[in-house]
Amino acid sequence: MLGIATADGVVALDAFGATDGRVAKIDDHFRLFSVTKPLTGLTAARAIERGLLNPETPLSAALPGFGADRDDTVRLWHLASHTSGIAEPALDSATPQRDDLLAAGRDFRAGTMSRYSTLAFEGMAALTAHATGRYWADDIAEWAAALGADGLTLDEASDPHVVVGAADAGLDIDRFVALRSPGAGLIGRAGDLLAIGAALLRDAGEIVQPATHAMMLRPLTGDIPRLEPYPAERGQDWGFTWNLRTRAPGLIDRDTYGHGGWSGAQFAIHPSAGLAYILLTNLATPDVDTDLLDNAVVAGL
C-alpha cells in the first residue's frame, strides 16, 4: 500500500499484492508497529499544550515505583527521544508492559546516550493518562477521528493483514497483540495516516498548535552517542517521538520527519516539498530501501 498526500488531502493511493488469496484494498487495515510512537507522542504533546504535562515531568509522577534503584531521573522528554536508558524487553514479552517498565534495569544514565526503546512509550502513556485521565488509544482515536482518520484501533475485528514471516523472524504475534503497546500496537489504514500527514502539513492547529508542532521537531539527541539500531552514520536525530532525518546522507530532501514500523511501514512528512506519504506492507522486516522510496516520491510529485 502506497499513498501520497499534500496539505489539501490525498493525491494518490494504491494497493498492490495479495496474501494467501486476500487481495490488498486501499481501505484495508495493517499493523502499524512503531508508527504508533509519534501518534502516542502527539497525544502527549496535546497534554503539554494544555498545561497538564511538561517535557520535564518525571516518570515517577505517574509511577512512583519506577526507578527506585536508579540514581538519575527519567523525564518525559527522555521517553520521547529514546534517551531514557530503560532496558528493553522483547517486543513480544510474556509480561505486561507496565510490569516490565517497573522492573526494568538501567541501560545507561538518562540523557547521555540514545538507544531505540518501545517500552519507554508505556511510560509516556502512563504519564499522559495520569495527566488527562484518558487511555492512550482512546485519546488518539478521538482526535484522529476529527480529521477523518477514524480507523486507528487496537481492535482485532478490524482484520489487519497477516504479517508474513513474523514467526520466522522471532515474533509471537498473539503475545505481541496482548501487550496493547503504546509504542507499537496500533492498527490502521493508509488513509488514516495520510489524513494526519495532511493536517501536519497544514499546521493549523488541528492536532497540535504550530508552536507545539515546532517543539516536537526540535532535535533532542544532538551529538550524544547513538547505539544500535540507529547509529550515528544513519544521519538522524530524535525529536519529540519523531525521527528527524536532517543529516541523512541518502536523501534528496532532508527537511523531513516521520517514523517506520517493523512490518515495513514508512510514514514520512516533507514540509518544504509539501507532501506526506505512507507505505504499508505485511512483511516481517522487509528489505526495503526507504531512502530510494523517499527520493522517488519527493522528486516524482
Segments making up each domain of the chain, as ranges: 2-300
The answer to whether residues 14 and 26 touch, using CB atoms and an 8 Å cutoff, is yes
For domain 2-300, say whether CATH 1.10.1740.10 is its number. Answer: no
Please state, in angstroms and as integers, the Cα–Cα distance from residue 194 to each residue in 140, 161, 178, 201, 202, following that order. Answer: 15, 19, 27, 10, 12
Q: At what angle do helices 120-132 and 136-145 cross, to 10 degrees?
A: 70
pLDDT at 295: 97
pLDDT in tens, the chain (301 residues): 999 999 999 999 999 999 999 999 999 999 999 999 999 999 999 999 999 999 999 999 999 999 988 999 999 999 999 999 999 999 999 999 999 999 999 999 999 999 999 999 999 999 999 999 999 999 999 999 999 999 999 999 999 999 999 999 999 999 999 999 999 999 999 999 999 999 999 999 999 999 999 999 999 999 899 988 877 777 789 999 999 998 899 999 999 999 999 999 999 999 999 999 999 999 998 888 999 999 999 999 7
| Helix (H) or strand (E) run with residue 270 in it | strand 266-270
Q: Please, what is the end-to-end C-alpha distance for the chain in angstroms? A: 17
- The model's pTM: 0.97
What is the amino acid identity at position 251? Answer: L
Sheet holding 275-279, edge to edge: 9-14, 2-6, 275-279, 266-270, 257-260, 243-244, 237-238
Q: Kindly report the CA angle at 167 between 166 and 171, in degrees rounded to 5?
A: 70
| Helix (H) or strand (E) run with residue 279 in it | strand 275-279
pLDDT at 235: 79
* Helical H segments across the chain, by residue range: 36-49, 76-80, 97-103, 120-132, 136-145, 173-179, 190-202, 210-216, 290-300
